[in-house]
Amino acid sequence: MVRVPRAELRVQAAAARLRVTTDPKLGKVTPEWIKELAKKDY
């Protein structure tokens, strides 16, 4: 199993939160896995 650095997980979660915010404005549907990632707090 590959260990992902904590800083990288924080970046991924922040990107997911941004996507959850911007997708509806662009008329896109956000995948469920991205919504779940956006809920995480690293």
The answer to whether residue 32 is domain-embedded is: yes
Which residue segment(s) compose the domain that 28 sits in? 6-39
Question: What's residue 27's pLDDT?
Answer: 98
The answer to whether residue 35 is domain-embedded is: yes
The confidence band for 37, taking pLDDT boundaries of 50, 70 and 90, is very high
Which spans in 1-42 are helix H? 6-26, 32-39
The answer to whether residue 1 is domain-embedded is: no
The answer to whether residue 29 is domain-embedded is: yes
The answer to whether residue 10 is domain-embedded is: yes
What is d(CA 34, CA 19) in angstroms, rounded to the nearest whole number? 8
Q: Is the pLDDT of residue 21 over 90?
A: yes
Q: Residue 9 in contact with residue 42, Cβ under 8 Å?
A: yes
DSSP at 41: -
The confidence band for 42, taking pLDDT boundaries of 50, 70 and 90, is confident
The domain tally of the chain equals 1
The answer to whether residue 25 is domain-embedded is: yes
